[in-house]
């Protein structure tokens, strides 16, 4: 009985593992095959890696594109974490009559899909003269409702007495935030960093609309334009995809330990 149960459990886990790992595997295989082989569904490694890389480098200004993506993702992430964690801290630390109502209002806004905001947002950015600038991409996301929510929930575990102790020790509110809250909540920050960095690095739709010149484009936009060419070379697309995946993997593995802690609740 127990053996049957564990057989089923492991069977299901194997299927789930296969489903999540296969796309990565296929992506890696794709980098070594010709476009024609990929379309035919070949799932063994081929010998075209060097050619595909050469073609990719020939078609794309790799350094420029990576720099754009990194600059956007890092700057937006830092600003989002700063602004949204401040908001989460404020919502939890300060009592006010309207606190719960404002917060409920914010959560309600989460249900508005981005597609509905896109056109008004575009008009706003156009009026402000921000089309084809990175500011247009960063500004709408900095106050992220989800991250504010996440920080507020995590802050519930932050002992108020720490803030009291710091006040008696002579710290101003901003010093408490910077020197006590931030280090104590570092695993929450790590988890939020991963979420925000990935979201920004992979951001596609809004940059596609706002960025108009080639020298501004990010790697997701470049890959998509490669893939939507008249005769897309999927080997080259796969090389680009691998390149686009690496940074998020690196960030994840760097922060993995803290990320897990952050998900479990950061204050011990």
Partner 1 sequence: MSGLELRDIRKSYGSHQVIRGVDLDIKAGAFVVFVGPSGCGKSTLLRMIAGLEEISGGDLLIGGTRMNDVDASKRGIAMVFQSYALYPHLTVRENMGFALKYAGTPKAEIDKQVNDAAQVLGLGALMDRRPKDLSGGQRQRVAIGRAIVRHPQVFLFDEPLSNLDAELRVNMRIEIARLHKELGSTIIYVTHDQVEAMTLADQIVVLRDGVIEQTGSPLTLYDDPDNQFVAGFLGSPKMNFVAATVTAEGLQLAEFGGQVIPMPPISSAPAVGTNVTVGLRPELFKRGGPAAFEVTVEIVEHLGGETYAHARQGAGAVLTIATDDGRSLRTGDTVTVHFDPARALIFDTNGDRLR
Residue 170 sits in the site that holds partner 1 (CB under 8 A): yes
Using an 8 Å Cβ cutoff, are 55 and 233 in contact?
yes
Residue 63 sits in the site that holds partner 1 (CB under 8 A): no
Residues 6+ apart with CB under 8 A from 217: 65, 68, 207, 211, 225
Residue 171 sits in the site that holds partner 1 (CB under 8 A): yes
Question: DSSP alpha helices (H): ranges in the chain?
Answer: 2-30, 35-40, 49-59, 62-93, 99-109, 114-127, 134-142, 145-155, 160-168, 173-176, 182-184, 186-201, 205-210, 219-227, 234-264
Nearest of 160, 194, 196 to residue 180 by alpha carbon: 160
Residue 169 sits in the site that holds partner 1 (CB under 8 A): yes
Residue 167 sits in the site that holds partner 1 (CB under 8 A): yes
Residue 215 sits in the site that holds partner 1 (CB under 8 A): no
State in angstroms the smallest separation of the CB of 261 from partner 1: 13
Residue 93 sits in the site that holds partner 1 (CB under 8 A): no
State in angstroms the smallest separation of the CB of 171 from partner 1: 6
Among 115, 168, 174, 230, binds partner 1 (CB under 8 A): 168
3-state secondary structure of 268: coil
Stretch that binds partner 1, among 126-134, 155-163, 190-198, 243-251 (CB under 8 A): 155-163
Interface with partner 1 by CB under 8 A: which residues?
Answer: 159, 161-162, 164-171, 175, 180, 183-184, 186, 267-268
């Amino acid at each position: 009985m127990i053996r049957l149960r564990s057989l089923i459990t492991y069977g299901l886990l194997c299927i789930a593992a296969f489903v999540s790992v296969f796309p990565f595997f296929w992506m890696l295989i794709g980098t070594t095959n010709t476009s024609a082989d990929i379309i035919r569904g070949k799932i063994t490694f081929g010998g075209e890696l060097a050619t595909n890389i050469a073609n990719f480098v020939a078609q794309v200004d790799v350094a420029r594109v990576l720099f754009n993506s990194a600059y956007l993702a890092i700057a937006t992430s830092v600003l989002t974490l700063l602004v949204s964690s401040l908001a989460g801290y404020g919502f939890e630390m300060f009592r006010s009559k309207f606190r719960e109502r404002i917060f409920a209002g914010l959560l309600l806004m989460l249900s508005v899909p981005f597609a509905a905001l896109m056109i008004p947002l575009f008009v706003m950015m156009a009026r402000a003269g921000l089309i084809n600038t990175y500011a247009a991409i960063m500004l709408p996301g900095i106050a992220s409702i989800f991250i504010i929510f996440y920080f507020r929930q995590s802050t519930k575990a932050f002992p108020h007495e720490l803030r009291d102790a710091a006040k008696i020790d002579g710290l101003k509110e901003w010093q408490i935030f910077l020197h006590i809250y931030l280090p104590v909540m570092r695993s929450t920050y790590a988890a939020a960093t991963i979420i925000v960095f990935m979201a920004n690095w992979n951001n596609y739709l809004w940059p596609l609309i706002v960025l108009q010149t080639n020298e501004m484009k990010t790697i997701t936009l470049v890959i998509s334009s490669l893939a939507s060419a008249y005769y897309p070379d999927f080997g080259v697309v796969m090389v680009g995809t691998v390149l686009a995946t690496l940074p998020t993997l690196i960030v994840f593995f760097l922060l993995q330990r803290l990320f897990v802690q952050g998900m479990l609740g950061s204050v011990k």
